[in-house]
Chains A and B, each alone.
Chain A
Amino acid sequence: KAGVTQTPRYLIKTRGQQVTLSCSPISGHRSVSWYQQTPGQGLQFLFEYFSETQRNKGNFPGRFSGRQFSNSRSEMNVSTLELGDSALYLCASSSIGTFVGETQYFGPGTRLLVL
């Protein structure tokens, strides 16, 4: 089976722009979670989608949003980019969800730089 894929792998944006990141889960997985990793804050949970519905959400402002399509692919959008949004954005997939006690599989991440 192919692993979790994320596109693009690298991205440079300027303040005020918006960005959309994509995550394709392992075939058959219905849960996709998104995480932000920065040197200062470490890893932080953004949200989890399951069967096209946001099921869990971390403590991020409304500028961070996501969605999931019927084929389980997920997108994450950040509007009005700030310098502090520069980070590695990781997605992870699992069959039914890590919050119900299942191992998740991580993608390679998208490295976003905001100038």
Chain B
Amino acid sequence: KNEVEQSPQNLTAQEGEFITINCSYSVGISALHWLQQHPGGGIVSLFMLSSGKKKHGRLIATINIQEKHSSLHITASHPRDSAVYICAVHPNTGNQFYFGTGTSLTVIP
């Protein structure tokens, strides 16, 4: 059973396109994270959300607590955005950290 589901698993886009990656979870949470992992393994924490919406440059993350759903949007995508994007949640109960399987994004020039 996966507490966190991401879609799509793989995504190919043309440079400049608007991209949306979705994350659904099945447990009550205290926070949701979006992570970016480039080839080679390095991970960068993009956002941490407990409600509403956050924006950083061309990246926007939203969360709907009632629907147990979050989206990561990339506006004006660029080849350097090519990476795996991972959603992770902290449940309300228990000290755990559940991860989605990731969305592999390739942006073609």
Contact = CB atoms under 8 A, between A and B. Distances in A.
Interface residues of A, number: 26
A99 B95 contact: yes
Contacts of B7: none
B43 A90 contact: yes
Interface in A57-90: 57-59, 88, 90
Contact of B41 (A44, A48, A98, A108): A108
B54 to A, nearest CB: 11
A51 to B, nearest CB: 16
A111 B101 contact: no
Given A43-B86, A56-B95, A101-B31, A106 B101 contact: no
A55 B43 contact: no
Contacts of A104: 45
A57 B95 contact: yes
On chain B, which size bracket covers the interface?
A: 20 to 34
Interface in B52-109: 86, 88, 90, 95-102
Contact of A42 (B90, B96, B99): B99
Interface of B: 30-31, 33, 40-45, 48, 50, 86, 88, 90, 95-102
Interface in A14-72: 33, 37, 42-45, 48, 55-59
Contacts of A55: 95
A95 to B, nearest CB: 13
Nearest to A42: B101
Contact of A101 (B30, B44, B96, B98): B30
Nearest to B43: A106
A106 B42 contact: yes
